[in-house]
Amino acid sequence: MDKLQGVGVSHGVAVGQVRHMGTAVLEPPARQIDAEEAPREQQRARQAVEAVAADLTARGELAGGEAQAVLEAQALMAQDPELIADVERRVTAGGTAERAVYDAFSTYRELLAGAGEYLAGRVADLDDVRNRIVARLLGVPMPGVPDSDEPYVLVARDLAPADTALLDPALVLGFVTEEGGPTSHSAILARALGVPAVVALPGAGELAEGVVVAVDGANGEVVVDPDEAERERLARVAAEHRAALESATGPGATSDGHKVPLLANVGGPADVAAAVEAGAEGVGLFRTEFLFLDDSQRAPSEEKQVAAYRAVLEAFPEGRVVVRVLDAGADKPLAFLAPGEEPNPALGVRGLRTLLDHPEVLRTQLTALARAAEGLPVYLEVMAPMVADRADARAFADACREAGLTAKVGAMVEIPSAALRARSVLQEVEFLSLGTNDLAQYTFAADRQVGAVARLQDPWQPALLDLVALSAEAAKAEGKSCGVCGEAAADPLLACVLTGLGVTSLSMGASAIPHVRAALAQHTFAQCERAAAAARAADSAERARQAARAVLSGE
């Protein structure tokens, strides 16, 4: 019995036989075609691109939520005009459709890989799009989730969003990947599905087909060929966890009554039903990008935005709904907001910076939100992404007032400068919301899509906890609120630590809410405070996790 250690990203325990993802598409042969064949090959390429884009979009519509936004972004990637033009040039030069696609995508892949870690993390998504187009042109099955009638544990080097989004939890007991990180697309979608998952596991690809493994998505441990005693232990852990979930009901609170509202992260109206069913007390992060991905060439009309926003607001009467205005740029480029060539888009014009450069887009969105909330008893709050300082916060607050918005105005803390100067930022806005994914990325210069730096994306990093504490302390001093809407809030143990740091609300994917509610209900606020202090005193993420667990378990 061997024990392997990765990064746990989705809670739960799974025991089953290993099944590996299908192999990658083979490189198509280089074959010259005659000039008269070029139009036909170009047509084949265009048809394959459109078919793959349509398939990705359809998969997204089936999956809904987080998955839909990710897959629609991939569909746009497949239809990139520059890539298609490059494919057609290569066909004109004598290449077959499949070879032209392979070479054009390979060139673009090299550009991404060398454009800094943020864009390098999109290489896996690009490879998946390329493989799907080439497979269609070659007429071979698309590599993907294995065909099996029996439940299994899926093992892969990495999982493309298109595969993760449509996993059947009845068959896929859990999954393990060699790459990825705690905030990668696959990790986020795993949590949404409620499937136990471990990522960044060295040597995952060497696990033998058919061998039985036990996957603990909470602590990141994978046990190969577990003995009977280990299986019994894991079964007890799973049973205890189920019992805790069933006993914890109602609003979020510690065992001694300290209230911690548990809110949901939603990507559009499709996510509302799951949030309501999970007992969400409102929405802590309403991502609005889904509206803008339908057509990357132009912004959605005000009327279309009003209808979409109202559908979400109506689902939470007298609840709190926090809307993040459009967060475009970097990994979410939109043609009508394109800032031009940037050596590192992650550090360029994105988020609020983009909107301030395009005030008409921001004004339309804010006006639509104001109209959507008319006549509803909902507590609407609106926040800006990527706020760097007080000047940013003031500019956003001014824009909200000019649009006639009476909702509370807030700022996301995703840049270390905003955490360090939180009291200054709070002179202009009424609340803070910590986006721990980007805050970790910018604090440690570690792209959340790059498995090689996954340890620096771990939200248990003490330096990140320090920034959370600074923000929460500033909000308390100003008599204002400070929530967390990043993926850190979905970790039940870390949720207790965040509460102890002074965070006033937690927002997460709907599937995580019952787990966090149960964890909070088992501990007093004083225990949470002691766990937070112990975690901050540690000098590594793993030791911080161990220290907090020791405090909360009474060791």
Cβ distance 428 to 512 under 8 Å? no
Secondary structure (H, E, C), 116-167:
CHHHHCCHHHHHHHHHHHHHHHHCCCCCCCCCCCCCEEEEECCCCHHHHHCC
pLDDT band, residue 122 (cuts 50/70/90): low
Residue 346, pLDDT score? 72
Indicate whether 176 pLDDT > 70.
Answer: yes
Identify which of 154, 174, 153, 181 has the alpha carbon closest to the alpha carbon of residue 217. Answer: 174
Round the average pLDDT of the chain to a whole number and report it: 87
From the candidates 11, 185, 358, 515, give the one annotated as an active-site residue: 185
Cβ distance 12 to 194 under 8 Å? yes
What's the CA gap between 503 and 465, in Å, rounded? Answer: 11
Residue 418, pLDDT score? 98
Poorest-confidence range of 50-59, 164-173, 355-364, 480-489?
Answer: 164-173
The residue written with tokens 């059947």 in the block is 168
328's CB contacts (< 8 A; 6+ apart) are 289, 292, 334, 337, 350, 351, 354, 355
Percent with pLDDT over 90 in the chain = 51
From the candidates 400, 482, 485, 528, give the one annotated as an active-site residue: 485
Q: How many CA atoms lie within 13 A of 423 on its CB side?
A: 8
Cβ distance 69 to 188 under 8 Å? no
- DSSP secondary structure string for all residues of 156-215: ES---HHHHHT--TTTEEEEEESS--TTSHHHHHHHHHT--EEES-TTGGGSPTT-EEEE
If residue 221 lies in a helix (H) or strand (E), which one and from where to where? strand 221-224
pTM reported for the whole predicted model: 0.71
Considering Cα of 44, then 47, then 50, then 51, what sign does the dihedral take? negative
The encoded tokens of residue 347 equal 């550090």
Cβ distance 71 to 56 under 8 Å? yes
Identify which of 415, 427, 526, 406 has the alpha carbon closest to the alpha carbon of residue 475. Answer: 427
Is 185 marked active-site? yes
53's CB contacts (< 8 A; 6+ apart) are 75, 76, 78, 79
The mean pLDDT of 349-370, rounded to a whole number, is: 94
The residue written with tokens 């202009």 in the block is 428
Question: Which range has highest mean pLDDT (77-86, 255-264, 539-548)?
Answer: 255-264
Q: Which residues pair with 324 in a beta bridge?
A: 287, 383
The mean pLDDT of 187-208, rounded to a whole number, is: 84
The encoded tokens of residue 261 equal 């509202």
Phi and psi of 152, rounded to 5°? -155, 170
- DSSP secondary structure string for all residues of 28-69: PP--B--GGGHHHHHHHHHHHHHHHHHHHHHHHHHH-HHHHH
Is 485 marked active-site? yes
Question: Which range has highest mean pLDDT (161-165, 265-269, 420-424)?
Answer: 420-424
Cβ distance 384 to 351 under 8 Å? yes
355-358 long-range contacts, Cβ below 8 Å, gap at least 24?
355/325, 355/326, 355/328, 355/384, 355/399, 356/395, 356/399
Q: What share of the chain is helix, strand, coil (3-state, %, to 5)?
A: 50, 15, 35
Q: Which residues pair with 347 in a beta bridge?
A: none
Give ∠ CA 505-511-515 in degrees, rounded to 5: 65
The mean pLDDT of 320-328, rounded to a whole number, is: 94
What's the CA gap between 540 and 233, in Å, rounded? Answer: 28
Residue 340, pLDDT score? 66
| Per-residue model confidence as pLDDT tens digits over 288-301 | 988 887 665 788 99
Residue 252, pLDDT score? 96
The pairing of beta strand 197-199 with beta strand 7-10: antiparallel
The pairing of beta strand 212-216 with beta strand 431-434: unpaired
Instruction: Report helix, strand or coil for 104.
Output: helix
| Per-residue model confidence as pLDDT tens digits over 420-467 | 999 999 999 999 999 998 999 999 998 766 656 767 888 999 999 999
Instruction: Report helix, strand or coil for 358.
Output: coil
Residue 474, pLDDT score? 98
pLDDT band, residue 119 (cuts 50/70/90): very low
| Per-residue model confidence as pLDDT tens digits over 201-253 | 998 988 998 999 999 988 889 999 999 998 888 888 888 777 777 777 889 99
Question: Which range has highest mean pLDDT (79-88, 155-164, 351-360, 465-474)?
Answer: 465-474
Identify which of 321, 351, 259, 366 has the alpha carbon closest to the alpha carbon of residue 507. Answer: 321
Poorest-confidence range of 301-305, 515-519, 551-555?
Answer: 551-555
The encoded tokens of residue 337 equal 């907001």
The secondary structure of residue 253, as a DSSP letter, is: B
The secondary structure of residue 329, as a DSSP letter, is: B
Backbone conformation region of residue 180, classed left if phi is above 0, alpha if psi is from -120 to 50, else beta: left
Q: Is 157 exposed, middle or buried (0-12, 13-18, 19+ CB in 10 A)?
A: middle
Secondary structure (H, E, C), 373-404:
HCCCCCEEEEEECCCCCHHHHHHHHHHHHHCC
The pairing of beta strand 262-266 with beta strand 379-384: unpaired
Indicate whether 90 pLDDT > 80.
Answer: yes
Cβ distance 189 to 161 under 8 Å? yes
Residue 449, pLDDT score? 60
The 10 Å CB-count burial string (b at 16+, else e) for 95-114 is: bbbbbbbbbbbeebbeebee
Cβ distance 240 to 491 under 8 Å? no
Angstrom CA distances, 72 to 53, 110, 161, 336, 475, stand at 8, 23, 10, 17, 37
